[in-house]
């Protein structure tokens, strides 16, 4: 039963924030919020890797689900809003290709690293990589960091 609850915790967090965002959408600073959520995702992943407490693990996984959902909502909305009409189909196809394969590639990475370094180290490295993505993304895409709203005025 404990394993099932741990597997459900990210989805529970994601559902709660999705319902919240449906009633109270993000108003400003969405670029910063997106990068902060990816950082929270990385940190909670690392805390989960080191946790030996079932209850702490449940909480950090639920927070992980919240952070992931918020960043996905922002990314998906920006793709739709910022892509020119004549490019939307192509951009959506490329986005779908990358997001559709990311989980499988991540699972391969995690499994290979777990075999080489152990499970805890694999999860820690995954969380650390998420933090590196935040730092790289903020430096490579400063305009994305400065996005204020999810809609064009």
pLDDT digits over 34-74, tens only? 999 999 999 999 999 999 999 999 999 999 999 999 999 99
Which alpha helices (DSSP H) does 51-140 contain, by range?
Answer: 54-82, 88-117, 119-140
Please determine, for residue 153, whether its predicted confidence score (pLDDT) is greater than 70: no
Distance (Å, rounded) from C-alpha 106 to C-alpha 24?
Answer: 32
Q: How high is the pLDDT of residue 70?
A: 97
Distance (Å, rounded) from C-alpha 113 to C-alpha 119?
Answer: 8
Please determine, for residue 17, whether its predicted confidence score (pLDDT) is greater than 80: yes
In 3D space, the residue among 152, 10, 150 whose CA is nearest the CA of residue 74 turns out to be 150
The arithmetic mean of pLDDT across residues 8-31, rounded, is 95
pLDDT digits over 79-130, tens only? 988 889 999 989 989 988 888 888 888 889 889 999 999 999 999 999 999 9
- SS3 call for 150: coil
Query: Is pTM, for the whole model, over 0.85?
Result: yes
Q: How high is the pLDDT of residue 98?
A: 87
């Amino acid at each position: 039963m404990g394993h099932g609850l741990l597997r459900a915790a990210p989805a529970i967090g994601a559902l709660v924030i999705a319902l919240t965002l449906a009633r109270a959408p993000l108003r400003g600073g969405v670029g910063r919020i997106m990068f902060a959520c990816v950082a929270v995702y990385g940190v909670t992943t690392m805390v989960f890797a080191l946790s030996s407490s079932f209850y702490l693990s449940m909480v950090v996984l639920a927070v992980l689900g919240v952070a992931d959902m918020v960043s996905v909502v922002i990314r998906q909305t920006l793709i739709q809003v910022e892509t020119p009409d004549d490019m939307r189909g192509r951009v959506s196809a490329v986005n779908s290709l990358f997001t559709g394969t990311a989980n499988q590639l991540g699972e391969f990475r995690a499994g290979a690293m777990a075999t080489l370094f152990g499970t805890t180290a694999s999860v820690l490295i995954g969380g650390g990589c998420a933090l590196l993505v935040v730092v790289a993304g903020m430096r490579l895409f400063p305009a994305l960091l400065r996005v204020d709203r999810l809609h064009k005025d």
